[in-house]
Structure 1
Amino acid sequence: MTDESIVIAAYIGFASLFLGLIPLPIIVTIGFRYAALIEDRVATDSGGIEAARMFWQGRMIGRFFRSSNVFAYLVLRSFPGSFFKQRASLLGDPNVPLPRLWQAWVLIPVLFLYLMVGSVLIASAITKML
């Protein structure tokens, strides 16, 4: 690899650090509103979503963790196979129909955040490798 490619990887990592901060306010404000609606629909008495709701409450860090919990539930229930449905049922009821708009407000910001974190990690690995 040339010095130019290392510099480009460093700039990509640097930009990803700041772009990764953009979805955080969305996750804890607008996105949390939809995460709470999803929690209300899918929560079961013994599920992880209900336990997280009781433990984390509604402050900023709690909102982020509860949104992450709902994100995990939505991802697990979307995969085919009984293993993933069983894992989703540990969080909530995987058979509840949910509007796509609600799911989008939870999935898209968190996926963007994880994409930026992955970009930072890859860029860091590339710059340290050489």
Structure 2
Amino acid sequence: MIYTLAHIGYLSLFIGFMPLLVIFTFGFRYTVLIEARVATERRGISTARNIWQGKIIGRLMRSGNVFAYLIFRAIPSPFFQQRASLLGDPAVPLPLSWQAWVITPMLLMYLAVITTLVSNLVIQSVR
């Protein structure tokens, strides 16, 4: 059982790097398009764009900001709508394909991290 869980954890780490490549290359193109549409002056997305620029870590941080914005604006609660408005304009219509290029790789990356952590916790509890 430990052997199987160790392989699951190892493979999830390896597979978790693939969404990172998408975030840094193809997905970032859509992050920039979404930023251009929803960014308002003195909001979180425009501030992050100015601070982080376009290097590797900056691309990850900016994609994370846009991911949070998209998730917050999709939740119909007034609390989350307010959080989305702190990042950008939640009323701006966005094509679903643009949203998918940002949301899917980020979710896959988070899923890989969670899978690695859970498999490690189970291995530690079995010992």
TM-score normalized by the length of structure 2: 0.97
CA apart distance, 1:31: 0.3
Q: Partner amino acid for 1:128?
A: Q
Percent sequence identity over matched residues? Answer: 55
CA RMSD, Structure 1 to Structure 2 (Å):
0.7
| Counterpart pick for 1:36 among 32, 39, 59 | 32
**What is residue 10 of structure 1 aligned with on the other side?**
6
Aligned positions of 1:59-74 closer than 5 A? 59-74=55-70
2:21 equivalent to 1:25: yes
Q: Distance in 2 between matches of 1:84 and 1:19?
A: 31
Q: Distance in 1 between matches of 2:75 and 2:27?
A: 22
Q: Distance in 2 between matches of 1:6 and 1:96?
A: 49
Other structure's SS at 1:20 match = helix
Q: Partner amino acid for 2:82?
A: Q
CA apart distance, 1:6: 2.1
2:85 equivalent to 1:86: no
Segments of 5+ residues of structure 1 without an aligned counterpart are: none
| Counterpart pick for 2:109 among 102, 106, 113 | 113
Runs of 4+ off more than 4 Å: none
CA apart distance, 1:13: 0.5
TM-score normalized by the length of structure 1: 0.95
1:6-53 deviation line (CA, Å, top 9, x unaligned): 221111101101000011111011100000000000001021000000
Aligned residues: 126
CA apart distance, 1:90: 0.5
Segments of 5+ residues of structure 2 without an aligned counterpart are: none
1:43-67 deviation line (CA, Å, top 9, x unaligned): 0102100000000011111111101
**What is residue 128 of structure 1 aligned with on the other side?**
124
Q: Distance in 2 between matches of 1:94 and 1:8?
A: 44
Task: Identify which range, 113-122 or 7-16, moves more after superposition.
Answer: 7-16
